[in-house]
Structure 1
Amino acid sequence: MNKKKVISNKEIDRLGDRIRQESPNLSNITLESLQQYRSSHEESLSKIFNILCEIKRNINNSSIASFRIKRFESIIGKLKRYPKMKFNRMWDIGGCRCILNSEKEIYKLREEIGKVLDIRKEYDYIKKPQEEGYKSLHLFVSLKNDDKVIEIQLRNKFFHNWATLVEITDLLFEAKLKEYKDDKTLLRFHFLLSKNELVLGEKKEFAKIVSSYNYFEKLSEVFSRNYLKVREQWTGINTSHRHKYYLIETSKDQVPIITAYERYKDAESHYFESFKKNSKANIVLTHLPKASYQQISLAYSNYILTVHDFFDKSLGIIENLVIESLKKGKIIDFYRYYILYNKIVFGHFDNIINEIHFSNEIFASIISKKKRKRRNKKNREWSIDIKNQVKNLISKYNSISDKLRETLSTNWGYKFIFRKIARSIEKKYEKELRVKITSKNL
């Protein structure tokens, strides 16, 4: 039986120095050495991930757990940002992540992890968030008699959605917020989103940034382009229990590509070859046992680029601005915020109409009974997802309509003008929506 070559800490550090010197164009020898070092984490990572999955079942069985080995470009970028860092001390080469429902579950899971794994270091960014608003609990753990250190990130869904949105912004606006914090306005935008509550001035600031960057329009353009194609891919991907490894490749100009694998070695080999062909490709290889579309789109929304939960929070902020401007009799503010609100809501309705039409076309095009049967489950999931989206949007629109009626029912001078403005805005977007529905024969 051949034993794997053990790489000493000095060899690892020399490799790190070589990467810094050769970057951005690594020689084949350096690239092969880096691949060997990355792959050396796989066994420890897999064992720790299995332990994590066993523990989290007793805390929240529906929580989402995944693992990955740090991407080439992330390793190279980190070595360049921290020129004095010893490569053997980069402890996040192998990483697990668990997305839970609450902070209480995070700390309960941390407590249980500490009973079975050696926690070498811990960073609590929940109790002490990073300056820009990042929150997560980072544990650096190892097995007994194993020198490999693996990072475990514990987040709730809100923390995770915030972190992935930063990466989405980086990709769409080339802002480099995560590494270099270049764009101060977008950094401020994400900081505001990280807060549990915003005062009125912060809400206005948030809306101003959304408008000036055309944030929703850019997001919607990419998401609506990707969503239908990715969803179509997913209905065709063989996601049996044997397929647990997923390679996701994305860019702001191309539809993400998802490939499923039974064996980790095959997936890792494909990733390595893809990187050698294009070192700038944005690719992640992950392990998600029993993956569903909802799981993979939540866990890797920064790669899937199809949907994001921050939509609800943002809409809530703008709704509040609409009602506040109405209460204070500020006609221009009301007009501006209510147009923004309707633009976002009806833009989302427009995407849903496209989705319904596209999903109907896909299913109608499947002639083979065998293929229809295999895809039935995923099509049902898709149909339920569409219905939930529609319910959510209708609920939000009914909510703001009720609040408008309630506020306008008070007897004050400008209510006729406000009612007229609100109705003219609603009619404009409702007309556009009816035209779209008719054009799709729905």
Structure 2
Amino acid sequence: MVEQVAHMMVHGEAWTIKDLFVLPNEYVYWSIQIVLYPYMTGLVAGAFVLSSLYHVFGVEKLKEIARFALVFSFALLPVAMMPLMLHLQQPLRGIHVMMTPHFTSAISAFGIVFLTYGCIVASEIWFVYRKFIVESIERLEKKQRRGIESLMLMIYKVISLGARDISPEALEADHKAIKFLAGLGIPVACFLHGYAGFIFGSVKANALWMTPLMPVIFIMSAVVSGIALCILCYAIFMWLRRWALKRGKTFFIPEQVAGTMEISDAQLRDVQTYETRMTSKYLLIFMTLAITLELLDIIFRGYTAVKSWDILRQVIYEHDFVKIFILQYGIGNALPFLMLLLPGLTTRRACLASILVLFGVLMMRWNVVIGGQAFSLSFAGFMHYQLPIIPYSLETFKEGLGGALMVAVTPFVIFYFLNMIFPAFYSEEEAH
């Protein structure tokens, strides 16, 4: 009976609480999945920008984490579309965006950019790991008994595309291709996420979203969130490697390297600490830019005080004061900024700061998406979004805590299998 009632409900009615005078057909239509959509695309773009700092700009200090960031960005890529698929009432129609490009539609343009970016990242990973792929094929072909490795051999043969030349000249050509693709990928990655801000910023009917700064704010916060996630995940995976090394196991390490390398727990700890500290410096730079732009936007709105400023002021300074100024700016921006700025940065402190940064960016997305729908078009009422915790229908699962957790876990599942083919912690020094 409950399911039948749920099906009769208007989309958004299940999680919308109305306050004061709100029009009868107004609900919070864009829920948690539309919050996660720009959040996940931002993580993709940010992780790629971090890897490009080494490949394009030659920042040698980020060499170890750059390879991990590239593979992790590729693992995040399929999940960027996942929140949209869960949000759509007819998800099977989603592929039409890819099949029928239309340049006057922002969402259709996203499909073109998304495919282009996916091809760039896949090509860059292929060039980065081409030598490793060829060496893996040669190693596996020499084995008499392969077992499950027969599948790995077949996969490597397919993705090698028949390019078995690993002479110095060929590897130099690979290096040039990597640098070109990484350079090309930076503006495409920024456009991939900037378009999400463009969609919000171009909605004339919504006073909170209508600002030309929205795409730039989205891009900066995307880079911040991507770098923070890479710092956190890299440190955790390195801790797992150290834990495995003490027990004679080899988590996240290529088989041909694991059998021959001589690396100690102290060396892994030093690499972990060094990479975390170096990456945190770049995180601070992008955090400064992101915080400045967001504060500039609020100050500009208050100074210009357009017709809709009265209702916006109530949303920003009263209705969502705790979410914006305490959770987003206080806990999510100011606190981690100070933690990273203090001398003697440790890996644990950097990880805690990264968690707070990720929370701050998530709150920024929440305040833009949910906060933008908080006030009624009557300018005389408000709507509160209540996240469905216990799903009593498919819709409340997709648009609730269950759907959000599914989106959050999926990239790590993809990374686990992707790491088997393209080891994210493989380096030339270890191979020798």
> Is the pair's TM-score, using the shorter chain for normalization, greater than 0.5?
no
Structure with greater helix percent: 2
Q: TM-score, normalised by structure 1?
A: 0.29
